[in-house]
Amino acid sequence: MSIRLHAIGKHFGKTQALEPVDLDIAEGELVGLLGPSGSGKTTLLRIIAGLETADREPGGRILFGERDVTHLHVRDRRIGFVFQHYALFRHMTVFDNVAFGLTVMPRKQRPSSGEIRSRVHRLLEMVKLEHMAQRYPAQLSGGQQQRVSLARALALRPDVLLLDEPFGALDAKVRQELRRWLRHLHDELNFTSLFVTHDQEEALELSDRVVVMSDGRIEQIDTPDVLYRRPANRFVFEFLGDVNHLEGSVRNGVLTCGDARLAVDLADGPEELLLRPHEVELAEKPAAHAHMPVTVTAISPVGAEVRVELAADWLGEPWLATIRHADYERLALARGVRLYALPRHWHRFPAERDHQPSKTVATTS
């Protein structure tokens, strides 16, 4: 079931939580709503669910497939909703929690109790909790509770599954595990899913497409890959990963900042360039296009790459570079070592064109 939003906005009193937005989600897609807190992502999700009502003006519409649900009550929208803090019914067993949606159906549509039982057991099997059926939520771990919550949301075979920061309250390891498991489940059952997160890694890893939001606006909607490589604007770029800043003035194709110089193809004037950590190479000698002396202040060789913190007189804030372990060994890095930074790419988001596509330049070394 596809989801289409047209001109959906929301005010809370006088504050605008959400500017009127349009959004199309294809059937079977798994879409992440990403943004910092207060960006309107949860509001948007709750409006889609029917937990909040969109502003009357400018008369927005919400369509599930061909079904206009704009004025439909939450209970009639046939959605599954997973809450950040699980929101399990504490006085009911796991089984009763999962069965709840089925047992509150109008008598005519309600499946027989035998069928309810088998359906709930299938769901519990799916979330690997069949042996916990008679436990109370208070007796489960956070990860288990969230799985119950998911099973409960799926019990009614919803057209649309909405998840509000589903893994936000869990610790890192469980979060990782559940993420993968959700992706599996999604691929297997192929429902349309929309989830809210403030964790860019989670959004990029899990989603088919990501909707980046800030200040009640949608900044960009794209696949994780495009989003990362071609951020629509400075906000998206900065929000999606670590950023190194380079501020200076350009004269005759050379940007100067203290005793650092970088050849750029830009008009004269003040400039600010942005670089991802992996776009910064380290070398023992300056290159023709770049003379940027730095000192290593911290090294963290944990994970697939080595993170190196760099400081210099010409830098306001230290830079971060990620290099391969091989390079780390080759350069014999240690704290206090002086090196030269060689930008491979840089990005530029002119202030007056904040919402225009960025200019990304590759510099060849």
Partner 1 sequence: MQRIGDAPAVRRLLITAAVLLAALFLLLPLVAIFAQAFARGVDVFWANITNTYTLAAIQLTLVIAVLTIPVCLVFGVALAWLVTRFRFPGRRILQTLIDIPFAVSPVVAGLVYLLLYGRTGWLGSWLDGHDIQLMFAWPGILMVTIFVTCPFVARELIPLMQAQGSREEEAAVTLGAPGWTIFRRVTLPNIRWALLYGVILTNARAVGEFGAVSVVSGAIRGQTNTLPLHLEQLYQDYNTVGAFASASLLALIALLTLVAKASLEWRAARREDHA
Partner 2 sequence: MSTRSFAIGLGSTPKRVLPGFGLSLGISLTFVSLMLLLPMTGLFGQLAGLSLAEYWTIITNDRVVASYVVTIGAAAVAAIVNAAFGLLLAWVLVRYEFPGKRLLDALMDLPFALPTAVAGITLATLYASNGWMGRLLEPLGLQVAYTWVGIALAMAFTSIPFVVRTVQPVLEDMPHEMDEAALTLGASDITGFRRVILPHLWPALVTGTGLAFVRSLGEFGAIIFIAGNMPYETEITALMIFVRLQEYDYAGASAIASVVLFASLALLLVINIWQGRFIKRLHGGHG
Residue-by-residue DSSP string for 260-324 = EEEE----SEEEEEEE-GGGEEEESS--SSEE-EEEEEEEE--SSEEEEEEE-TT-SS-EEEEEE
CB nearer partner 1, residue 51 or residue 174: 51
Residue 139 touches which member of partner 2, partner 1, none, C-beta under 5-8 Å by kind? partner 2
Q: How far is the CB of 332 from partner 2 (least distance, A)?
A: 54
Return the residues of window 124-143 that contact partner 2 according to CB under 8 A. Answer: 136, 138-139
Asked if residue 235 binds partner 2 (CB under 8 A), the reply is no
- Which residues does 197 contact at the CB level (< 8 Å), separation at least 6? 32, 33, 34, 165, 167, 168, 203
- Taking CA atoms, 192 is separated from 26, 103, 196, in Å, by 7, 24, 14
Asked if residue 81 binds partner 2 (CB under 8 A), the reply is yes
CB nearer partner 1, residue 74 or residue 174: 74
Asked if residue 67 binds partner 2 (CB under 8 A), the reply is no
Q: What are phi and psi of 36, to 5 degrees?
A: -70, 170
CB nearer partner 2, residue 79 or residue 296: 79
Binding mask 257-276 for partner 2 (x = CB under 8 A): --------------------
CA distance 312 to 319: 9
Binding mask 189-228 for partner 2 (x = CB under 8 A): ----------------------------------------
Binding mask 84-103 for partner 2 (x = CB under 8 A): -x-xxxxxx-------xx--
Residue 52 touches which member of partner 1, partner 2, none, C-beta under 5-8 Å by kind? partner 1
Task: Provide the b/e sequence for 6-37 (b: ≥16 CB within 10 Å).
Answer: bebbbeeeeebbbebbebebeeebbbbbbbee
End-to-end CA distance of the chain: 49
Residue-by-residue DSSP string for 135-170 = S-GGGS-HHHHHHHHHHHHHTT--SEEEEESTTTTS
Q: How far is the CB of 174 from partner 2 (least distance, A)?
A: 18
Asked if residue 63 binds partner 2 (CB under 8 A), the reply is no
Asked if residue 104 binds partner 2 (CB under 8 A), the reply is yes
Helix (H, G, I), strand (E, B) or coil at 31: strand
Considering only the stretches 24-32, 81-89, 123-131, 309-317, report the one whose residues sit in contact with partner 2 under the rule CB under 8 A.
Answer: 81-89
CB nearer partner 1, residue 42 or residue 145: 42
How many residues lie near partner 2 (CB under 8 A)? Answer: 30
